[in-house]
Chains A and B, each alone.
Chain A
């Protein structure tokens, strides 16, 4: 990715259809380095589609998606993994590996980027301390609460020091108190300079954190 690009993420007239359903219709926006952006809107508005387009999990039918200066439409199949390694993702349903311990879940991300094994321990310790899971290092996901699972997901995303952190409804499965503590973590990470793009329909969170909002309704941006 080109570090020199002015905008970290740039959508230019992006449209995406699933069959006859239009998920995004000529959407354009830009997100700069170090920003914290909420993508809001009702269910089915196209929030997750935007995140998937950024992650190159989906490609636009028309228009252009640029991430770190890379046009995702031009990515070769073999280039996609390396592209994704620079993006951290946190999912609503956590997507942790159930048969791996907390530490191992985080280590997997380091193995994916090809970091030498001897460097894992220190980075895993550091990131687990950051998300407050030091005591749970050797526990399995089944032994963790929802909030803790979300922290594992966050730790896995952060450990590779990504350029952007994508979060798809990270508080969707959490109670208010836990959501609050997870959001504080995202805020802390953003303050350290990381770009955070979070899809959420939780108005309370958006209201409380006072960040830039891209509001999508019916596949179109209604407010940015």
Chain B
């Protein structure tokens, strides 16, 4: 084993309770960080889901000519705030209705295409544009009325729904970052205390090493390594625990949210998401370890 790694593991063995406390705090931090990351991922997926599906339906008047409809469709397609414009004829509307009521065929048989208006469905690139676009589309002479997908709750409370979605997403992101930040700060201080105590107990060893010509880097290496071991063990345990927790609750979450893809559908994609989170946590853990041990070292005169 490398001499620095051996020294670092010896320090850990020498004070196992200090080491356990440091690892515990780091585990807690990275457990929460992993869950927050997943929450941020899921909330952004929910937002994206609503942002990318047809939200606005412009119901057309019965007397609207094909030329007028095509002209409006062309106009909407040319609008940079709008995407995925789709014309739904009366027949297609009936077909959608029949599909939606397939569990009760009688409902489908009682209606004819004539009662369904043709419509132009489209998505808005940013939910904040929606109200303006609706007002503009309402002003078109061939448009009878404008509606929204049921998921958004209808035209009247559009602003509320959009606002609520954005607020929740912001809360999740900001709250998650703040909470994780607080825990990361606690971990940082835990590392700082542990490493400072460690350096204090090896004062004589440092003195000997200096006298035989050890550089500051040589003396500091095991200290950095010890910090890094705490951080990486914390990352690994925290991440594994969070992964197990998410895997365990995934079926419930997925069935609750239905078609909204809050979590990746297949295991490989889920692993990919968790892999990215793990990578980022390793980087964050290494930064914490480096910062904690650097400050601890700089505070100890003997190492200067």
Contacts and interface: CB of A to CB of B under 8 A. Distances in A.
A99 B14 contact: yes
B298 to A, nearest CB: 14
A111 B213 contact: no
A157 B146 CA distance: 89
A57 to B, nearest CB: 7
A21 B186 CA distance: 48
Contact of B213 (A97, A104, A112, A117): A112
B214 A95 contact: no
Nearest to B211: A89
A193 interface: no
A112 B211 contact: no
B218 interface: yes
B209 A112 contact: yes
Interface stretch (A12-20, A64-72, A76-84): A76-84
Contacts of B268: none
Interface in A25-77: 55, 57
Contacts of A8: none
Interface residues of B, number: 17
A78 B212 CA distance: 14
A97 B3 contact: no
A137 interface: no
Interface in B95-134: none
B211 A97 contact: no
Interface of B: prevailing SS: helix
A113 B213 contact: yes
Given A108-B3, A111-B3, A81 B213 contact: yes
B224 to A, nearest CB: 16
Given A108-B3, A111-B3, A84 B211 contact: yes
B244 interface: no
Contacts of A81: 210, 213-216, 218
B205 interface: yes
B9 to A, nearest CB: 11
Contacts of A109: 212
B131 to A, nearest CB: 66
A82 B205 CA distance: 18
Contact of A97 (B2, B14, B205, B215): B205
B10 interface: yes
A77 to B, nearest CB: 8
Contacts of A87: 213
Interface string B1-38: 01100000010001000000000000000000000000
A187 B132 CA distance: 98
A107 interface: yes
A160 B211 CA distance: 13
Contacts of A86: 213
B208 interface: yes
Nearest to A95: B208
A85 interface: yes
Given A99-B10, A99-B14, A108 B213 contact: no
Given A111-B218, A112-B218, A95 B211 contact: yes
Contacts of B205: 97
A190 to B, nearest CB: 20
Interface in B192-231: 204-205, 207-216, 218
Interface string B254-297: 00000000000000000000000000000000000000000000
A117 B207 CA distance: 23
B213 A85 contact: yes
A82 B218 CA distance: 12
A103 to B, nearest CB: 12
Given A95-B208, A111-B218, A112-B218, A83 B3 contact: no
A108 B212 contact: yes
Contacts of A112: 209, 212-215, 218
Contacts of A82: 213, 215
A108 B211 contact: no
Interface of A: 55, 57, 78, 81-87, 89, 95-97, 99, 104, 107-109, 111-113, 117, 156-157, 160
23 contacts: A78-B215, A81-B214, A81-B215, A82-B215, A84-B210, A84-B211, A84-B213, A87-B213, A95-B204, A95-B207, A95-B211, A97-B205, A99-B10, A107-B3, A108-B3, A109-B212, A111-B3, A112-B212, A112-B215, A112-B218, A113-B213, A117-B2, A156-B212
